[in-house]
Amino acid sequence: MRRLLYLLPFLLFIGVGIAFYLGFERDPRDIPSALIDKPAPTFDLPAIPGQMVQGQPATSGLSSAKLAGDVTLVNVFASWCIPCKAEHPVITRLSREQGVTVYGINYKDKPEDALTWLSRNGNPYAAIGADQDGRVSIDWGVYGVPESYLIDRKGRIRFKHVGPLTPQVVEEQILPMVKHLRQG
Amino acid sequence: MTRLLLAALLALSALSSPALAVQPDEVLPDPALETRARTISQELRCLVCQNQSIDDSNAPLARDLRLLVRDRLKAGDSDDKVMEYVTDRYGDYVLLRPPFKATTLVLWIGPFAVLLLGAAGTFLFLRGRRGVAAGADTAPLSADERRRLDALLRKDD
């Protein structure tokens, strides 16, 4: 019995070691969102100046009113953001083939740059709001683009992904969650 | 010549001030508000370069948050209200000093618990040793042992 007691510090050390080792697996950039399960912030963003929708100048951008009703994905992007370009085909597939409405928040971008970027890479967004000073994005808790938020039918944020969306994240996390939220 | 150069360098270095992340156009005209803004900014973590406060960081988001803090102060918010505004959006993670609550109990209590555990262990260990030294659990010498001890001690004289 007493022998076992001498083993205790060693076992404690092993336990702490394992805990720290597992800590290596975690991405320090992945900060838990404070807004999960909370209503999406109230906002009303204008369209990107000069943006055309079906041949007409866009009249409305993106507001919180548009978010309620269906399960939607809100994607924060910018033309100057390299990973945004990498995730763009994934977003496009999500919107055009996988049947998820995707809204865009154009984060701190020059209007002309954003429009060139969209015409070059395609526009998968059902609507885009231009957040030129980044204030609305702060309300969303954005700290690095790209970021994506899944909004349920009641307009609550249910899931957040920081960094570019990958096919794997879409298959394993986004699509099952969308299915679940549509049922609920 | 070298001396003159050194003197000039010294004089110049005295004139310089540390590089500040806060840009002149961010500074509020009211010095009292600005002091409060600086104090709050030093408590808030920059989410891009995570080990700097927004007061220290040159990241664009840090600048946006500094401006936000100043806007909230200008709108008449108290210091706590401003902190709450930011933590509502970014969670406790933005606080460089974590709050004391149920989820951070291990963080705050942990070191003291380890210290206490170590102190208790040391106390028990030392008490056990003193017991041995005082001969609390050693048997008295037998007649034979005593004779041998006496013989050894006499040899020394």
- Encoded tokens for B12: 């110049």
Asked if residue A30 has pLDDT above 90, the reply is no
Burial state string for B138-152 with b = 16 or more CB within 10 A and e = fewer than 16:
eeeeeeeeeeeeeee
Nearest Cα neighbor of A76 from A3, A136, A117 is: A136
Beta bridge partners of A102: A73
> Tens of pLDDT along A158-176?
999 999 999 999 999 999 9
Domain B18-99 CATH superfamily: Cytochrome C biogenesis protein (1.10.8.640)
Q: What is the ipTM of this complex?
A: 0.82
Using the beta-carbon criterion (under 8 Å), do B91 and A138 form an inter-chain contact? no
Determine the residue of chain B that is closest to A142 in CA distance.
B90
What is the nearest CA distance from B19 to chain A, expressed in angstroms?
24
Asked if residue B136 has pLDDT above 60, the reply is no
**Residues of chain A found within 8 Å of residue B92, distances taken between Cβ atoms:** 34
**By mean pLDDT, which of A15-29, A160-174, B66-80, B122-136 is the weakest?**
B122-136
- Rounded to 5 degrees, what are φ and ψ at B152? -65, -40
Over residues A137-160, the mean pLDDT reads 93
Binned at pLDDT 50, 70 and 90, residue B5 comes out as confident
**B104, B95 contact by CB (below 8 A):** no
CB atoms within 10 A of CB A59: 9
What is the nearest CA distance from B32 to chain A, expressed in angstroms?
25
How far apart (Å, rounded) are the C-alpha atoms in residues A150 and A160? 6
pLDDT in the model for residue A28: 75
Instruction: Say how many CB pairs under 8 Å bridge A and B.
Output: 40
Per 3-state DSSP, chain A is made up of helix, strand and coil in percentages (nearest 5) of 40, 20, 40
Over residues A107-136, the mean pLDDT reads 95
Residues belonging to chain A with any Cβ–Cβ distance to chain B shorter than 8 Å: 28-29, 31-35, 108, 133-135, 138-141, 143-144
Using the beta-carbon criterion (under 8 Å), do A138 and B89 form an inter-chain contact? yes
> Tens of pLDDT along A56-100?
888 889 999 999 889 999 999 999 999 999 999 999 999 999 999
pLDDT in the model for residue B61: 92
Farthest-apart Cα atoms in chain A, separation = 84
Domains of chain A: 35-183 (3.40.30.10)
N-term to C-term CA, chain A: 55
Determine the residue of chain B that is closest to A138 in CA distance.
B89
How far apart (Å, rounded) are the C-alpha atoms in residues A174 and A66? 20
Using the beta-carbon criterion (under 8 Å), do A134 and B64 form an inter-chain contact? yes
Binned at pLDDT 50, 70 and 90, residue B3 comes out as confident
How many angstroms separate the Cα of A93 from the Cα of each of A170, A172, B68? 10, 15, 36
What is the nearest CA distance from B65 to chain A, expressed in angstroms?
8
Nearest Cα neighbor of A165 from A124, A113, A132 is: A124
CB atoms within 10 A of CB A109: 22
Which of B61, B64, B90 is opposite residue A34, by nearest beta carbon? Answer: B90
Residue A182, classed as helix, strand or coil, is helix
Over residues B25-35, the mean pLDDT reads 91
| Chain B residues 15-54 with CB within 8 Å of chain A | 47-48, 50
Using the beta-carbon criterion (under 8 Å), do B90 and A141 form an inter-chain contact? yes
Beta bridge partners of A77: A106
Kind and range of the H or E run holding A13: helix A2-23
Most B-contacting residue of A10, A31, A137, A160 (CB-CB within 10 A), to test interface: A31
Conformational region of residue B77, where left means phi above 0, alpha means psi within -120 to 50, and beta covers everything else: beta
Asked if residue B18 has pLDDT above 70, the reply is no
Burial of residue B13 (number of CB atoms within 10 Å: 0-12, 13-18, 19+): exposed
pLDDT in the model for residue B8: 83
Residue A46, classed as helix, strand or coil, is coil
Which of A133, A141, A144 is opposite residue B89, by nearest beta carbon? Answer: A141
Using the beta-carbon criterion (under 8 Å), do A31 and B68 form an inter-chain contact? no
How far apart (Å, rounded) are the C-alpha atoms in residues A153 and A35? 16
pLDDT in the model for residue B135: 58
Over residues A127-136, the mean pLDDT reads 95
Over residues B18-32, the mean pLDDT reads 83
> Tens of pLDDT along B67-107?
999 999 999 999 999 999 999 999 988 999 988 888 888 88
pLDDT in the model for residue A133: 92
B140 at A interface, C-beta within 8 A? no
Which of A32, A34, A108 is opposite residue B89, by nearest beta carbon? Answer: A34
**By mean pLDDT, which of A92-96, A125-129, B18-22 is the weakest?**
B18-22
